[in-house]
Amino acid sequence: MPDQYIKKILEARVYDVAVETPIDPAPFLSERLNNTVLIKREDLQPVFSFKIRGAYNKVSQLTEDEKARGVIAASAGNHAQGLALAAKQLGIKAVIVMPQTTPDIKVRAVRARGADVILHGDAFDQALAHSMALVREHGYTYIHPYDDVDTIAGQGTVGMEILRQHPEPLDAIFVPVGGGGLIAGVAAYVKYVRPDVRIIGVEYEESACLKAALEAGERVVLSQVGIFADGVAVSQIGEETFRICQSCVDEVITVSADEVCAAIKDIFDDTRSVAEPAGAVGLAGLKKYVEQTNVRGQTLLAIDSGANINFDRLRYVSERAELGEKREAILAVTIPERPGSFKTFCDAIGRRNITEFNYRYHNDSDAVIFVGVQVNPEMETRQALVDSMIEAGYPVQDLTDNEMAKLHTRHMVGGHCPSVTNEVVYRFEFPERPGALLRFLERLGTRWNISLFHYRNHGAAYGRVVVGMQVPESERALVPECLEEIGYHFWEETDNPAYQQFLG
């Protein structure tokens, strides 16, 4: 039972290297949400992540023989840094296998702490398989990033600190979930000491392995995992962590990339610190919980689990934060093609701020514009804006939730091309690393003429491409089969209104 962890958590050896992190108030967010919002600042650890707790607790309890063989782990970055520091502190050789998509800041940080780094695979599971092969080959002692009793106990000290630092009423703790080490440790301790406190797991929607397991009643393996929030990009919840979560976790919430980006901005606004995507997942879930339940006057705490983010990725975060906060609407609006029509449209927009405007001449009668409009969700919903445009006589399509519009069309609007025939459009995602785009193009081949192409590297862990190809009607059915062989995720977008209105 989870209560077996209490003694282990109380005796965990973490403070030789870890620090007791503060709980910071979030005054701006508290006022906005009408609840008291608190943030547990695990981003302030020496390795900028909670992972140092579990890694050090585990390594410090190895036998002399296990230490002599050296330690190894697979990690997307934060466990790697924690293990590297723990091994350095204890004078042990450390080898870390990291996915090739790991942000460079994490790779450099691990190497700086004296560990040997091997880059292998596109996601954690491939790195894990390679690390286990090295264990068999060299006899290293494997240190699991989450599915280990001592690792879980180390992470549980976060829960112990929360209850000691905040003895006042606490309604819920929101914990980011990857493999489950943090939530298992926190839940085991908190539910034993304060069973009235709700433990709510928060997962990035493209790696929601705990939610899938709880719904199925058993551990499942996700067929694919999104790696935007690389620190929680795990395809299967741990065996031991799932056992604890089944009895100690009250609820699991999933959040989108836009919602995570908005949470990163909220953390910055209230603390002037920059969380990594996985670090902000908990707060994104807290905000979604308030929105869904409409609770008021409660005390809610989110764990900020880390701050290891590549600087380049901030460009993407800033672009999507307003969308995640529901403060920007992206619309396709048809206006008359005549002098003065843009001014008339701006009059209809009123005092709302226009954040983006893209247009190119198409014909003599109508113009379709790609427009971003700032909205205040506390005063006006996005639907109310759309309705006001329709009432003013403008045909409107809301593209705010359209991934192709947000990722590609807004950077491509340049007009239609009547001379292009038999065009089909597909959107792709592939792991972003040196040579990835060239590899994609080589795999795409030359069977069909490419008539449209857009790729933009914005610091994310995976590349995004939209491709138009001229495919005769008789060969349309062959396209998905050929694209499956490329091995990347893809979606057909030929009928997407963002394409039809501006590019088709």
The architecture (CATH level 2) of 2-49+149-323 comes to: 3-Layer(aba) Sandwich (3.40)
Residues with Cβ within 8 Å of residue 294, at least 6 apart in sequence: none
Over range 123-132, report the average pLDDT.
85
- Catalytic residue from among 207, 305, 326, 451: 305
Give residue 137's pLDDT.
95
Mean pLDDT, the chain, whole residue set: 88
Domain 51-142 has CATH 3.40.228.10: no
Residues with Cβ within 8 Å of residue 100, at least 6 apart in sequence: 119, 120, 121, 122, 431, 433
Give 418's pLDDT tier (boundaries 50, 70, 90). Answer: confident
Give residue 101's pLDDT.
77
**37 three-state secondary structure:** strand
Give residue 18's pLDDT.
96
Over range 387-401, report the average pLDDT.
88
Domain with CATH 3.40.50.1100 in the chain: 2-49+149-323, 51-142
Give residue 408's pLDDT.
80
Structure token digits, residue 237: 């919840």
Give residue 411's pLDDT.
75
**310 three-state secondary structure:** coil
Among 7-21, 109-123, 214-228, 323-337, top mean pLDDT goes to: 7-21
Give residue 413's pLDDT.
67
**Phi (first) and psi of residue 39, to 5 degrees:** -125, 120
CA within 13 Å, CB half, 211: 16
Give residue 438's pLDDT.
64
Pick the CATH number of 420-502 from 3.40.1020.10, 3.90.1150.200, 3.90.600.10, 3.40.50.10470: 3.40.1020.10
Q: Is 51 a catalytic residue?
A: yes
- Catalytic residue from among 8, 40, 51, 265: 51
Over range 46-58, report the average pLDDT.
95
Give pLDDT tens digits for 420-436: 788 898 988 877 665 56
**8 Å CB contact between 456 and 464:** yes
Token look-up 């190894």 returns 72
Give residue 385's pLDDT.
86
Give residue 112's pLDDT.
92
Q: Where are the beta strands (DSSP E) in 280-420?
A: 299-304, 328-336, 354-358, 366-374, 396-398
Give pLDDT tens digits for 466-495: 888 888 999 988 888 888 887 788 899 999
Give 309's pLDDT tier (boundaries 50, 70, 90). Answer: confident
Burial pattern 295-307, b for ≥16 Cβ within 10 A else e, equals eeebbbbbbbbbb
Give residue 335's pLDDT.
82
Give residue 274's pLDDT.
96
Give residue 70's pLDDT.
96
Give residue 446's pLDDT.
72
Question: Which residues sit opposite 254 in a β-bridge?
Answer: 203
Structure token digits, residue 367: 């113009």
Q: Is 247 a catalytic residue?
A: no
Domain with CATH 3.40.1020.10 in the chain: 420-502
Give pLDDT tens digits for 90-125: 999 999 999 887 777 788 889 999 999 999 987 777
Over range 357-369, report the average pLDDT.
70
Q: In whole angstroms, give the CA distance from residue 132 to residue 141.
A: 10
Give 2's pLDDT tier (boundaries 50, 70, 90). Answer: low
Give residue 407's pLDDT.
77
**22 three-state secondary structure:** coil
Give 71's pLDDT tier (boundaries 50, 70, 90). Answer: very high
**Long-range Cβ contacts of 204-207 (<8 Å, 24+ apart):** 204/228, 204/229, 204/232, 204/233, 204/254, 204/255, 204/257, 204/260, 204/277, 204/278, 204/281, 205/254, 205/255, 205/256, 206/257, 207/178, 207/232, 207/233, 207/234, 207/235
CA 67, 70, 72, 78 torsion-angle sign: positive
Residues with Cβ within 8 Å of residue 462, at least 6 apart in sequence: 101, 226, 227, 228, 429, 430, 431, 432
Give residue 183's pLDDT.
98
Share of the chain above pLDDT 70, in %: 93
Q: In whole angstroms, give the CA distance from residue 374 to residue 310.
A: 28
Fold of 326-401: Alpha-Beta Plaits (3.30.70)
pLDDT higher than 80, residue 358: no
Give residue 409's pLDDT.
78
Over range 133-154, report the average pLDDT.
95
Give pLDDT tens digits for 371-380: 888 887 777 7
**17 three-state secondary structure:** coil
Give 319's pLDDT tier (boundaries 50, 70, 90). Answer: confident
Share of the chain above pLDDT 90, in %: 53
Give 286's pLDDT tier (boundaries 50, 70, 90). Answer: very high
pLDDT higher than 90, residue 295: yes
